[in-house]
Amino acid sequence: MVQKEIEIQVYGAEQICASCVNLPSSKETYEWLEAALSRKFPDQQFTVAYIDIFNPQDEQKKKDFSKKVIEEDLFYPVVVIEDEIVGEGNPQLKKIVKEMEKLGYKSGR
């Protein structure tokens, strides 16, 4: 069973990254991910948080990672679970689900 509730962080920006022109925006990806994971892991506790890299949160860890996304030219949105990058640019649901299952989440479908 799940040891603790995780936070899935989606780092992105209003502006679509130059290499991601035909992909959904970071915000759209965040909304899609939240809905897809809620269906995949019903009745299991986790949160999906959207972090704007150009307007980061008060939390130092999120500020530092936002800076990293910008400085290292990572393709955003960047999806992070437990300090591990599990998706970048066009995150794959399969990879994110696999990471959650490693942490004890049980897929409903």
- Residue ranges per domain, the chain? 6-102
Helix, strand, coil in percent for the chain, rounding step 5: 35, 20, 40
pTM above 0.95, yes or no: no
Burial of 7 (0-12, 13-18, 19+ CB in 10 A): exposed
The Cα 17–Cα 7 span in angstroms is 24
What's the fold here for domain 6-102?
Answer: Glutaredoxin (3.40.30)
For the stretch 19-53, pLDDT in tens is 666 778 899 999 999 999 999 999 999 999 999 99
What is the model's pLDDT at position 58?
A: 85
Six token digits for residue 4: 């603790």
